[in-house]
Amino acid sequence: MALANARAIMPSITVHPAVPNADGKMLAQLAQWCGRYSPWTSTGKENDPELSLEGAGGAGIWLDATGCAHLFGGEDAMLADMVGRLEKLGFTARAAMTDTLGSAWAVSRFSSNDAWKIVPPGETRAALAPLAIAALRLPPATVLALHEVGLRYIGDLIDMPRGPLAARFEKEVRLRLDAALGQTAEPLSPILPTTPLIARLTFAEPIGHRDDIAAATSKLLDKLCITMEKLGQGARRLVLSVYRPDGSTARITIGTARANREPRHLLRLFAEHLDEIDPEFGIDEMTLFAAIAEPMTANQSNLQRGAAAQSTDSYNAVIDRLTNRLGTHNVRRTHFRKSHIPERAAGFIPVGKAKLVQTDQRDADTPRPLRLLRPPEQVEAVAESTNGPPVLFRWRRILHHVTSYEGPERIAPEWWPSDAESPRDYYRVENEVGQRFWLYRNGETSWFLHGVFG
């Protein structure tokens, strides 16, 4: 109804302008806060981009609580805890736990007035039937059209034959209905949820000291590694989240090159980043979640093996520490490619992407420099003849006289047509002092320095 009408009915209402951006941000933050209950939370923007904060029902927060309820002592206790805490934060919340996304959305908004409601598995149909059609997340125009035909409740739709419904109304009605009933899949998280590998620690009094945070992380790691060992899994990515009493959160993520469940090693990786957590007024809960886990056989934590295997473990461990502090793209291994263009033929690529087996490396009968300039630097050079070697060149403002040269080695561009490339004639030259350079001529008269020799 319009504001004027509302004021006419009740003159003393307070009016605040709506700020959809701030509301959206707050919702996203709350979704993060709900991470304490389940690692998979969403505001619904990905599934339902048209869902706005206004409109019937509006946006809210979805959680995939598969396997999480037991940590809180049951589904009932979990919802009670969630609604209670949200109310302490100043929100009025209504929650519903059901089998499917669609029915959870419907039940929480259109069902009875309880603060939370749990629909046991198998009773979704019965729970949905008495609800209004708008509970299916349909656009208002479609809802109106359905009303005109006399369909007001979901129960009316469920038993209708498909043909006429699809003919009169868009596919959407059927899609939403099937999703709500669980007949088509509508996953919240891209990964197929099994029991999440998550460990939780709550504190009676908020902690803030760095040592306490480190000790708590250590405890969480011990707990989680035991769980992973029982399941035969190792972590590749771990997310440590801290929750503060005012509803804000912070998180640190670490990654490993190989699946790992060694608490000491993982603690060292976290230790690098613990200073990034600002405890502010204190932290009252911490969770550790293995976002990516892989099967890991027991062999890998066996200490009694040959020296070679042990050194691979220590190599992987030090690579983990280097990548976590310096970045994955800054720790690299040698890589050869089948190309005769020098800057493509060899280089270094990040450890994670390097193949363990090297492709054949050219043991060059042609000289290659020790250091390669990327990109090559243009130099001014003078040659005796158009196709001859350089006799003089200036690089970075120093003039060099060429006393001897080897070449030319002609390197043609790759077979695919490219405008900028022409064949390069490479020369290995030595100057009067004994410094050796790798120069090439591109085209008629431009010379470049591509590398230096030892």
Partner 1 sequence: MEDLRAHIRALERPGWTGEEKLFSLGIPEIDRQLPAGGCPPAALYEVLPDQPIDASAATGFSITLLAALTNYRKGRILWCLNDNATDAGEIYPPGISQHGLDPSRLTIVKTTRDTDVLWAMEEALRSNAFIAVLGEVKGIPMTASRRLQLAAEENDALALLLRPATQTPGLSAAIQRWRVKAAPSHPRDFAAVLNEPGAACWHTTLFRSRGGTPGTWLMEWCDETDHLALAPPVCDRPVEPHNASLTG
Residues within the interface to partner 1 (CB under 8 A): 311, 314-315, 317-319, 321-322, 325-326, 330-334, 336, 342, 345-348, 351, 358, 361-364, 367-374, 384, 388-389, 391-392, 398, 401-406, 428-430, 432-436, 451-454
Q: Which of 157, 192, 189, 190 has the alpha carbon at shortest distance from 175?
A: 157
The one-letter amino acid code at 349 reads I
The one-letter amino acid code at 44 reads G
Please state the φ and ψ torsions of residue 241, each to the nearest 5 degrees: -115, 140
Nearer to partner 1, 177 or 439 (CB): 439
3-state SS assignment for residue 203:
strand
**416-449 burial code (b ≥16 CB/10 A, e <16):** eeeeeeeebbbbbbbbeeeebbbbbbbeeeebbb
Nearer to partner 1, 262 or 284 (CB): 262
Nearer to partner 1, 40 or 438 (CB): 438
For residue 93, the minimal CB distance to partner 1 (Å) is 47
The answer to whether residues 117 and 96 touch, using CB atoms and an 8 Å cutoff, is yes
For residue 359, the minimal CB distance to partner 1 (Å) is 11
Nearer to partner 1, 246 or 272 (CB): 272
Whether a cis peptide bond, with omega within 30° of 0, leads into 408 is yes
Those residues whose C-beta lies under 8 Å from the C-beta of residue 400, and which sit 6 or more positions away, are 392, 393, 394, 429, 431, 432, 435, 437
Nearer to partner 1, 35 or 342 (CB): 342
For residue 425, the minimal CB distance to partner 1 (Å) is 15
Nearer to partner 1, 124 or 256 (CB): 256
For residue 218, the minimal CB distance to partner 1 (Å) is 20
Nearer to partner 1, 34 or 449 (CB): 449
For residue 179, the minimal CB distance to partner 1 (Å) is 48
For residue 221, the minimal CB distance to partner 1 (Å) is 20
For residue 423, the minimal CB distance to partner 1 (Å) is 20
3-state SS assignment for residue 144:
helix
E strand map for 167-282 = 198-207, 233-243, 249-260
The total of other beta-carbon atoms located within 10 Å of residue 409's CB is 17
